[in-house]
A and B are shown apart, each in its own frame.
Chain A
Amino acid sequence: MDSVFGVCYNGGVILAADQSNARSILVYQENLDKIAELTSHSAMGVAGPNCDLVNFTEYVAKNIRLYELSNDGTKLSVHAQANFARGELAYALRRGPYQVNILLGGYDTNEADKSKEGASLYHLDYMGTLHKVPFGAQGYASYFTLSIMDREYKENLNEAEAITIVEHCIAEIQTRFMLKQPNYIIKAVDKDGVRVIKYGSDPSDN
């Protein structure tokens, strides 16, 4: 029932997710932040029940932090983070799977090798598949919006253009999708880290 989008642009990646926390016929809240920050320069947007969302994102984020602490500040690349998360999903699959479908976006800084610097977006599902993608969507939203992204995406977008594409997708969902998803949160990850572009309802408002 959740909608998560991601679009890469030149120098960063945009992640967007609806803010509804609902189960069965009941809506619990409409200001949830489904885009969890893993490190200062990576975040994952998650579609799935709130319990698995919190449990899985914290597990991954804390393990990445543990890696940095135990290895003298060595940072994991976004590629390594995505593969670590994928491994954990695949491990959990035959035990008690996390019901999470993920878009993981991040920015790699690499002083030694500038060719390895830049933003990337990875598409993961609960069964443990992993793909590097230029844009992506999770949930029912993908049926409505992948065609929009396919038409509007091009290489070397700037940040504003990428946000526009995401907003077109949100507008489409809000017109055609049966469920109510009034609020969306949009975040950007670039060389300066993760930041919130905008939200429909303040996630910190309890």
Chain B
Amino acid sequence: MARRYDSSTTTFSPEGRLHQVEYAIEAINNAGTCVGILAKDGIVMASERRITSGLLAPAKTSEKTYTLCPHASCNVAGLTADANILIEQARLRAGRYHYQYQEPIPVEQLVEYVCNYKQFYTQRGGLRPFGVAFLFAGYDEHHGFQLYQSDPSGNYSGWKATVIGANNQAGKSILKSDYKKKQEGEMDEDKEPEIPDVQEALKLAVKVLNKTMDGTGSAAAEKMELFTMKLDESKKCVHRILTKEEAQEVIDSVEQEAAAAGDS
């Protein structure tokens, strides 16, 4: 019975569901994990690099993080081939907006455009949905730093901190307790809840990745890609992927903190 509705993405099942779209979302839940955290002075995205074979030449550039325009980047979970198409569309949209208005595109508009493109593939006949979920990090003059996630159905949502990919439930629950713990610890009656800065967010992201990655103990730097976005003195966005040494430093300090916490 279910088979009749599985083959076509455009047909609702009698229960009112779109199976192909749900399977696509499910496929993401097995993909490499990506963590995104909104910080006081920027955004952090951390992602898992899956090493499939020791013989495979390591990527010379980033595998998971792509710059869309000078003020937005994204992390990919899912099929990289599908993601490349969407990233191309996002870059084109950002470029066209800049050409038309000579101003950077508001981040949410860029995210919405990509998601509309994804949605189209869940409705048009004979097409398969994009098997990609994104984390978008961006900055604009309207809403400052912003973090969004999107799924193959074309839904998107803004977050303070979120996880996509494998074990995202476990990752989210760590974020929920730790991001909040941080706030409660420093919460005054009339003070705004304190948001972590980029350095603290990096550590939190690594902590989450450590838990979601199925390896035992702490992960090596080459298995993680750590990305930060900040503003420089002239309010320009600076995108940066941490070098192996810098990443190792963060990983080590997380390990030390965990060890110290275990002693007490």
Contacts and interface: CB of A to CB of B under 8 A. Distances in A.
Nearest to A82: B102
Interface string A82-111: 011001000000000000000000000010
Interface string A57-95: 000000000000001101011011001100100000000
Given A84-B100, A110-B141, 15 more contacts: A71-B106, A76-B101, A79-B101, A79-B102, A79-B103, A80-B101, A80-B102, A83-B100, A83-B102, A87-B99, A87-B100, A112-B141, A112-B144, A113-B141, A116-B141
B109 interface: yes
Given A71-B106, A71-B109, A83 B142 contact: no
Interface of A: 71-72, 74, 76-77, 79-80, 83-84, 87, 110, 112-113, 116
B107 to A, nearest CB: 11
Contacts of A113: 141
A74 B142 CA distance: 8
A140 B100 CA distance: 30
A126 B189 CA distance: 59
Contacts, number: 29
A84 B102 CA distance: 8
Contacts of A74: 106, 109, 142
21 contacts: A71-B106, A72-B108, A74-B106, A74-B109, A74-B142, A77-B103, A79-B101, A79-B102, A80-B101, A80-B103, A83-B100, A83-B101, A83-B103, A84-B101, A87-B99, A110-B141, A112-B141, A112-B142, A112-B143, A112-B144, A116-B141
B250 to A, nearest CB: 30
A113 B99 CA distance: 23
Interface string B81-124: 00000000000000000011111001011000000000000000
A70 to B, nearest CB: 9
A29 B108 CA distance: 47
Contacts of A112: 141-144
A77 B109 CA distance: 16
Contacts of B141: 110, 112-113, 116
Nearest to B141: A113
A80 B103 CA distance: 7
B2 to A, nearest CB: 38
Contacts of B142: 74, 112
A72 B111 CA distance: 14
A76 B101 CA distance: 9
Contacts of B101: 76, 79-80, 83-84
A76 B141 CA distance: 12
Find the residue from B101, B103, B108 having the highest chain A CB count within 10 A: B101
Contacts of B144: 112
Nearest to B103: A80
Contacts of B99: 87
Contacts of A80: 101-103
A173 B70 CA distance: 48
A113 B101 CA distance: 19
A84 B99 CA distance: 9
A116 B101 CA distance: 16
A76 B105 CA distance: 11
